[in-house]
Structure 1
Amino acid sequence: MKKILCIGELLIDFFTTHTEVSIIEAKTFEKQAGGAPANVAATIAMLGGQAHFCGKVGEDAFGHFLKQTLEQAGVHTNHLIMDPSAPTTLAFVSRQKDGERDFIFNRGADKLLSVEDLDLQQLMTMNLIHFGSATALLSEPFSKTYEQLMQTLHLQNHFISFDPNYRADLWKGDSDLFIHKCEPFVEAANFIKMSDEELLLFARTENFEQAIEWLTKFNEKTIAITQGASGTMLIQNGQITTVPAFPVNSIDTTGAGDAFVGAVLYQLSKFKDTNLSFNEWVTVIEFANRAASKVCEKVGAIEALSALKELQ
């Protein structure tokens, strides 16, 4: 089974325990481990794959909690850096009456990951590489490290997976800058996962058919467009199909997209060759849809992934 490396942020999410209130009004919060690439790594490990995580946290109580959480999920943390000079990144989130998120982001150690922190020789031994950080491209040195590592691994013919993970809260509406920073990853990736909203963003259109037409220039790549209850659109070498979603009594969709990506990479790690046929990809996406639906049945991200053990 191939080794999979997930690179990006690992942080603490503090969710308000009250519904339909702002952070100003909220009195109590619940601590949870978070970070999109960490969720992907935990998914892979929960399914029985060889997941490795690379990122940086503070050498504080939160950082130790996050490291322990990943290890309990079965993720290898030998590439997790604990920085004594910076605090672990924290996010405070509530959902208001109008459905909009109230969001405060206290960024710390995750943005400080540098090339000097990395054991490149060991990272080169990984087979599948996933870039899917919501924060990695925001500022240096992390953004520079992220792109340099991607280019290095790409030149060595590693299989690259990319999930843009656009968060309007973090980019303050500057979607053009976000797209510009994502372009090298889109060009290098073998597998790309986008939500339907992200597809429209990248294609710079509000017309879904035009957005699909925009995708045709990436025929050499395998692309999955997740559409919630409508299923997942799979595009490869001019072939397009929609793989149905599984019916689910959804409680919380947090981490569903990450579980989808993790389930895809877990299955790819079991193939001798990642050049799958279209029909093989359909089977992979069916399993990934099932994994995403399982996660929606529980609250939280990494905590909800325990449901995936049923799929092993």
Structure 2
Amino acid sequence: MYDVMGIGEVLIDFSVVSSAGVPQMFGSAGGAPANVLAAVAKLGGRCRMVSAVGADAFGDFLRDALSTLGIEVDSVISVEARTTLAFVHIAGDGERSFSFERNPGADTRLRPEDLSPAWFADAKVVHVGSLALSHEPARSAVHRALELAGDHGRVVTFDMNYRPALWSRPVEAVGQAFDVIARAHVVKSSEEELLLLTGNRQPDEALLQLAKAFPGTRFLGTLGRDGSLVAIDGLCHHVPSIPVEAVDTTAAGDAFFGALLYQLTRDADLPDVKHRLDDSLFWRSALRFANIAGAIAATRRGAIDSLPSLSDILEHMPA
């Protein structure tokens, strides 16, 4: 059985940086759901990717990159559209902004009928990214995936991962996100995304606000260098991170979520995974592990290339 099956975009990340005043660009495999699966796989988990790429050299590259990590790619289909490209502009402090070549973009071409029910019978966790919600038919494919996950009793996780360039209006992104959150077991949002979802500038209050509105969902908040939050039983718990010198935060959130899903699924059958969702001790330990993974990724350039190994993380875990 696969630990995590991811549904959403796999694309080429072109990072734009400046060295000695000269702009430089380098490309790598990326896309938030693919990065999350890569993080799980690098730590030892088994993963399947469900996505669409172009029948082009970039699509072949992406399949090879995921397959090299041990991720199952027979569910990555080829379509008559160009493989989606993302351009990541890295600032001096490691923070980034995004633009996309996605018109329409192969990742948006995934259709509900492309999904095999057998894939959902063979995965503990179904992980969904928000970029697939921005365009049809991928949006309908996500909702079909949620139906199939529910039919098979699988755990659903969701990454808000808001990218303004891909939405005509923020309110549209929020509405689509809430449709998925209503069917998810675990949801991760950044500080900015918590503000978008709730209008509340206090991350802890925003997290509790969401937890009250969706009592069946576990909400996580990422705070960058300040660690992360989890809402449990009406309380918001803060778990600190480790200090690092960030050079590129592109995959930090994906490293965090992938490490968390590795902890959620490792050495566990489906009932054990569901039990861990309500275990406060599990969450505090898992978030400490995930925070370290995100921090390490921020010290390296690129997306999948930046993700840490298990030994990398354990080196920084407290005794």
Question: Same fold per TM (> 0.5)?
Answer: yes
SS at 2:18's partner residue? coil
Q: Is the 8 A contact 2:43 2:262 kept in 1?
A: yes
Q: Does residue 165 of the first structure (1) align with residue 161 of the second (2)?
A: yes
Partners of 1:245 and 1:97 in 2: how far apart? Answer: 21
Q: Is the 8 A contact 1:94 1:102 kept in 2?
A: yes
What does residue 285 of structure 1 align with? 287
Q: Is the 8 A contact 2:100 2:165 kept in 1?
A: no
Please state how far the C-alpha of 1:51 moved relative to its aligned partner: 1.1
SS at 1:77's partner residue? coil
What does residue 123 of structure 2 align with? 126
Q: Is the 8 A contact 2:211 2:217 kept in 1?
A: no
Q: Is the 8 A contact 2:96 2:250 kept in 1?
A: no
What does residue 41 of structure 1 align with? 37
Partners of 1:231 and 1:57 in 2: how far apart? Answer: 34
Distance 1:5 1:104, change over 3 A: closer
TM-score normalized with structure 1 length: 0.89
Partners of 2:290 and 2:31 in 1: how far apart? Answer: 19
Partners of 1:239 and 1:96 in 2: how far apart? Answer: 35
Q: Does residue 175 of the first structure (1) align with residue 177 of the second (2)?
A: no
What does residue 5 of structure 1 align with? 5
How high is the sequence identity, in percent, across the aligned residues? 35
Partners of 2:123 and 2:96 in 1: how far apart? Answer: 39
Q: Is the 8 A contact 1:295 1:308 kept in 2?
A: no
Distance 1:93 1:243, change over 3 A: closer
What does residue 201 of structure 1 align with? 196
Partners of 1:100 and 1:311 in 2: how far apart? Answer: 24
Structure 2 gaps of 5+ residues are 315-319
Q: Does residue 116 of the first structure (1) align with residue 118 of the second (2)?
A: no
TM-score normalized with structure 2 length: 0.88
Distance 1:97 1:223, change over 3 A: closer
Q: Is the 8 A contact 2:225 2:295 kept in 1?
A: no
Amino acid at match of 2:41: A
SS at 1:88's partner residue? coil
Q: Is the 8 A contact 1:231 1:244 kept in 2?
A: yes
Q: 1:52-90 deviations in whole A, cap 9, x for unaligned? A: 11101012111111111111222111211122x222111
Matches within 5 A, 1:25-104: 29-83=25-79, 85-95=80-90, 101=97, 103-104=99-100
Distance 1:71 1:97, change over 3 A: closer
Q: Is the 8 A contact 1:19 1:96 kept in 2?
A: no
- CA-based RMSD of the aligned residues comes to 2.4
Q: 1:273-294 deviations in whole A, cap 9, x for unaligned? A: 1222101111111111111111
SS at 1:76's partner residue? coil
Structure 1 gaps of 5+ residues are none
Partners of 1:237 and 1:281 in 2: how far apart? Answer: 12
Distance 1:287 1:100, change over 3 A: closer
What does residue 249 of structure 1 align with? 245
Please state how far the C-alpha of 1:151 moved relative to its aligned partner: 2.4
Partners of 2:136 and 2:253 in 1: how far apart? Answer: 26
What does residue 233 of structure 2 align with? 237
Distance 1:127 1:20, change over 3 A: farther
Partners of 2:113 and 2:187 in 1: how far apart? Answer: 28
Amino acid at match of 1:37: P
Partners of 1:67 and 1:12 in 2: how far apart? Answer: 11
